[in-house]
Structure formats: C-alpha cells, structure tokens
C-alpha cells in the first residue's frame, strides 16, 4: 500500500474512532446513557480520510506557530465539513444536522466546535508527520 493510501486509512480510522468517542461521551453526559452508545456513518470514513490531503500543508507549516497551524487546519475542516455536507444533503444522506445548535451555518457547520477541530487538526498533523 502506498503512503497516500496509508495516510488516508490512518486519517479515516482515527476520525471514526474520535467520532465514536465524542458521540459516546455525549450519550453518557447529555442523555445519561450508561452504555455510552456512539453513532457514526459509513460516509464519515472517506470524509475523515480526506484529512490526509493536508499532509503537504503540514510539511510547509511545520515551523510555524501552533496557533497559525491549528487555525489553518480548523478552516480546512470547516470547508470540508460544509462542502461534503452540502453534497450529501443534496442526495438526501447527510449524517449530521446541526440546525438546532446556536452557532451553526446551514445546519452543516458548528462554529462552537472550532476548539475541537483545532485540536483534531493538530492530531492529524501529528499522525501525518510520523
């Protein structure tokens, strides 16, 4: 398997794992579900896998400060979330709907998730740098 395919797999699997952790944590904290049931979609694997496309960006920004890097990754994640969500919404299979959240844009992006995406972007940078 070539490096790009490996990076795609690593990003896809990490994203899926983080989503399961996040939604499982939410189910216990918000819904008081002791089983910590998580939720995801098969659509999410390739969407998370697309994070591997930031690999060249990681190399260009490796000596920049953490705030700049994390902010750029956050913007990339928001752009990906909006574009893939828009496409999936058009065909009736978008697995997320943030329309009930206060800080949302068209139900596809939650701006209050910026700190989370900041950290996830830096985590992707780390696994893509290894």
Q: How far apart are CA 13 and CA 65, in angstroms?
A: 27
Q: Is the pTM of this model over 0.95?
A: no
The β-bridge partners of 110 are 104
pLDDT in tens, 55-95: 999 999 989 999 999 999 999 999 999 999 999 999 999 99
pLDDT beyond 90 at 18: yes
pLDDT higher than 90, residue 26: no
- pLDDT at res. 110: 97
Q: What is the pLDDT of residues 30-50, one digit of tens each?
A: 889 888 898 899 999 999 999
Query: What's the pLDDT band for 1 if we cut at 50, 70, 90?
Result: confident
State residue 33's pLDDT score. Answer: 85
In angstroms, the first-to-last Cα distance of the chain is: 16
């Amino acid at each position: 398997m070539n490096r790009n395919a490996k990076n795609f797999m690593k990003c896809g699997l990490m994203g899926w794992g983080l989503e399961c952790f996040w939604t499982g944590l939410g189910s216990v904290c918000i819904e008081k579900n002791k089983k910590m049931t998580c939720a995801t979609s098969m659509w999410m694997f390739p969407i998370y896998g697309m994070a591997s496309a930031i690999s060249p960006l990681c190399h260009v920004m490796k000596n920049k400060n953490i705030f700049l890097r994390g902010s750029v990754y956050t913007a990339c994640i928001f752009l990906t979330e909006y574009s893939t969500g828009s496409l999936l919404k058009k065909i009736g299979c978008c697995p997320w709907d943030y329309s009930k959240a206060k800080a949302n844009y068209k139900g596809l992006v939650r701006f209050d998730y910026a700190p989370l995406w900041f950290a996830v972007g830096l985590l992707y940078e780390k696994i893509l740098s290894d």
